[in-house]
Amino acid sequence: MLPISLVHVDGAEYARCPRGGKTDRQGAKCAIMKYSMKRQFAFIFITLITGTILLCLILNTTLLGTYYLNKKQNALVSAYYSINEASSAGDITSEEYDIELKKICEKYNIQVLVADGESEAVKYSMNDPRAVLKQLLDNIFLGVDEERLLLNTNNYKMQVVEDYKTQTEYIEMWGMLDNGYLFMLRSALEGIRESVSISNHFLGYVGSAAIFVSVLLVIWLSNRVTKPIMELAKISERMKELDFEAKYTGDDKTEIAILGNNINELSEALEKTISELRTANNELLKDIERKDRVDERRREFLSNVSHELKTPLALIQGYAEGLKEGINDDAESREFYCDVIMDEAAKMNAMVKNLLTLNQLEAGNEIVNMERFDVTALIKNYIASADILIRQKEISVRMDDYDSVYVWGDEFRVEEVFMNYFTNAINYAGDEKIIDVKICRADGKVRVSVFNTGSPIPEESVAHLWEKFYKVDKARTREYGGSGIGLSIVKAVMDSHEGTCGVYNREDGVCFWFELKQDRQPTEKDI
């Protein structure tokens, strides 16, 4: 097994792998960096440059001659059209024609011979016009080698020929102008191979210099690219150890800088997430504690339910046994027994219904039908429906003649809230037996309050009024058939409406209230 040496970087202990392995924290696996980015950059760039230069050399050697020949052909054709146009435009012997002919020869680097109908050279740009004229006549009368023929049209022919005296190849074009004169155009091809050789030599020198410069450029570029990447790698190592203090500090606008900024954001996000996880862990511990408390409350709830049901069940059982055994045979006693059984059964039924309603509200299973309704009309209608009970209890109900006040909520559930308040007020009205109902509007909300005369609620009991089965006066609650659930229902209903409710003592009694969002109607002032 190859040894692993230890090094210290930035105060941390690292393990250095043999044979080019990357440095890692002690105890981590050593990964051999067989394919470092520097080497990859160098190999790719040098390969591309070398390949490009070699490709250029091959193309020069194989295609440059053909390309040069095609350019010469095009030059001769262009020269032909220029000479033909100049010949057709004026006197061939004029000075202007001489000037035009000289321009054509210099432009296309060609030799020109123009002969009249008697085979006499009238214009030429070479030193030995007779030899060229003889070559022209031989071409006309003797014909040409078809293998050397490049172009063959009605007005001209083009071919490659060799001057055996000078061992020089020419590309020549000959034929007849529109004015009837004979012409021949020649251009030497001897410079093609030399041009290719010179071009290849020059390309070789330039390529060698380019490779040298590219090596330096690759070293500089790889350092510039890999340095921030290594910095990012160190940052990631520290992040792996949950050290989020390290930040990427590059200020360039490259993709690596974007990656560094993203890593910084990731580090911040991870730090925040870990903090949130720790917070969540603490909350989980609290939830466990709350669950224990909920379990305790559940046991307490079952105990309360069983206790509440035990009394009416015992009464129902006792009076039912009395009826069965005929303890009292008179009709009045039997009727009393039946009334007690029915009353206790009704109390049990009401308590079960309230428990089911409360459970649905607290679990969020109850659908709240938000609608716009007149709360004033709702209160008046309920008070009217309770008129018989009010007169039986000799209660005095006070309520001003309010105009219509519209609110948003579930009308059925809001009526249930008011019913609980009003029923409690009737049962606890005291000796004065006064109930005062008020409707107030302020800050986009409507407050409905129900006040009743009587004894105030002990201050230590106020905070517990909204708890299930809580009773301030158990004997009094039992007397009118209460179960201690009504105010819990009120609290659940208002929570489902995102409303509020409360209670406070006055010198002469107790006032319960709840608030809902107002739906304001236009008044005459608005109109």
Least confident window among 331-345, 347-361, 435-449, 504-518: 347-361
Angle between helices 255-325 and 191-240 (to 10 degrees): 40
452-490 confidence digits (pLDDT tens): 998 888 888 888 888 877 776 654 455 545 567 788 888
Cα separation of 85 and 107, whole Å? 16
Mean pLDDT of the chain: 76
Report whether 189 contacts 71 (CB < 8 A): no
Q: Does an H or E element contain 315, and which? A: helix 255-325
Q: What is the mean pLDDT of residues 332-355?
A: 73
Q: Place 61 in a pLDDT band, splitting at 50, 70 and 90.
A: confident
Least confident window among 63-77, 179-193, 301-315: 301-315
Q: Residues for the chain: how many in total?
A: 527
The three state secondary structure string of 321-371 is HHHHHCCCCCHHHHHHHHHHHHHHHHHHHHHHHHHHHHHHHHHCCCCCCCE
Q: Express as a percent the part of the chain with pLDDT over 90.
A: 13
User: In the chain, what are the domain boundaries?
Assistant: 1-34, 40-242, 368-517
Report whether 246 contacts 235 (CB < 8 A): yes
Cα separation of 237 and 150, whole Å? 72
Report whether 498 contacts 364 (CB < 8 A): no
Query: According to the model, what pLDDT value does residue 289 have?
Result: 85
Q: What is the mean pLDDT of residues 207-214?
A: 79
Q: What is the mean pLDDT of residues 62-73?
A: 79
**141-178 burial string, b = 16+ CB within 10 Å, else e?**
eeebeeeeebeeeeebbbbbbeeeeeeeebbbbbbebe
Domain 368-517 has CATH 3.30.1050.10: no
227-266 confidence digits (pLDDT tens): 777 777 777 777 777 776 777 676 666 677 777 777 777 7
Angstrom distances, CA of residue 428 to CA of 421, 491, 509: 11, 20, 9
Q: What is the mean pLDDT of residues 106-110?
A: 78
The CA radius of gyration of the chain, in Å to the nearest whole number, is 56
AA identity, residue 53: I
